[in-house]
């Protein structure tokens, strides 16, 4: 999460990983990688998306290394599972992502844009239920973003210190 105090911008960083990452991003009709969400509690809220394939650690693993290095900066996660053969999620990649998030005890609001098997695997590995599980179809992309924004803002509010009583 990035906050620029003078302009009161709040940008949530979201990683999308899996076989339907590209179709999820296309369904959002983004220009660039950022989606403005409007003004919330005096902040200009936006989400920046970074998409990864089914297994970012396959091949030269550069994408996987970049994902591991960015893990502490993430505010939300979308795990995708395309329903066509060859584009299902990778259990080993999901497990590796979960391990990358664990050292800092990062608990991210997560949407499963795919089937119940991926949701069950993520919940088993992370110990946290997804905020939304939906079929990987274009009409579910925007509701998924709304669910992530709501959960991320709720987490942010819990992390703020209480107001002074003086």
Any domain includes 12? yes
Return the bridge partners of 36, or none: 46
Instruction: Give the model's pLDDT for residue 104.
Output: 60
Any domain includes 22? yes
Rounded Cα–Cα distance for residues 26 and 31 (Å): 10
CA distances from residue 56 to 2, 18, 89, 98, 118 in whole angstroms, order as listed: 24, 9, 11, 13, 17
Q: What is the mean pLDDT of residues 57-62?
A: 90
Between 128 and 134, whose confidence is greater? 134
Domain count, the chain: 1
Any domain includes 50? yes
Instruction: Give the model's pLDDT for residue 152.
Output: 87
Any domain includes 97? yes
Sequence-distant (≥ 6) Cβ neighbours of residue 141 within 8 angstroms: 24, 27, 28, 113
Rounded Cα–Cα distance for residues 69 and 140 (Å): 29
Rounded Cα–Cα distance for residues 55 and 1 (Å): 24
The pairing of strands 43-52 and 34-40 is antiparallel
**Residue 7: exposure state from Cβ atoms within 10 A (0-12, 13-18, ≥19):** exposed
Instruction: Give the model's pLDDT for residue 76.
Output: 93
Q: What is the mean pLDDT of residues 18-43?
A: 90
- Residue 153: DSSP 8-state: H
Range of the domain at 87: 2-159
Any domain includes 164? no
Length of the chain: 166
Any domain includes 165? no
CATH code of the domain in which 101 resides: 3.40.50.300
Any domain includes 148? yes
Any domain includes 166? no
Q: What is the mean pLDDT of residues 12-29?
A: 93
Q: What angle do CA 57, 63, 69 make, to 5 degrees?
A: 100
């Amino acid at each position: 999460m990035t906050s620029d105090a003078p302009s009161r911008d709040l940008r949530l960083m979201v990683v999308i990983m899996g076989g339907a990452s590209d179709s999820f991003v296309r369904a959002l009709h983004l220009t660039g990688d950022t989606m403005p969400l409007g003004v919330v509690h005096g902040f200009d809220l936006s989400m920046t998306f970074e998409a990864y394939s089914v297994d970012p650690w396959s091949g030269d693993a550069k994408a996987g290394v970049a994902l591991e290095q960015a893990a502490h900066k993430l505010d939300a996660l979308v795990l995708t599972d395309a329903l066509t053969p060859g584009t299902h999620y990778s259990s080993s990649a999901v497990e590796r992502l979960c391990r990358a998030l664990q050292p800092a005890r990062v608990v991210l609001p997560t949407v499963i844009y795919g089937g119940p098997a991926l949701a069950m695997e993520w919940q088993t590995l992370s110990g946290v239920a997804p905020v939304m599980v939906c079929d990987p179809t274009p009409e579910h992309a925007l509701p998924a973003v709304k669910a992530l924004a709501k959960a991320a803002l709720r987490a942010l509010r819990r992390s703020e210190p209480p107001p002074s009583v003086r």
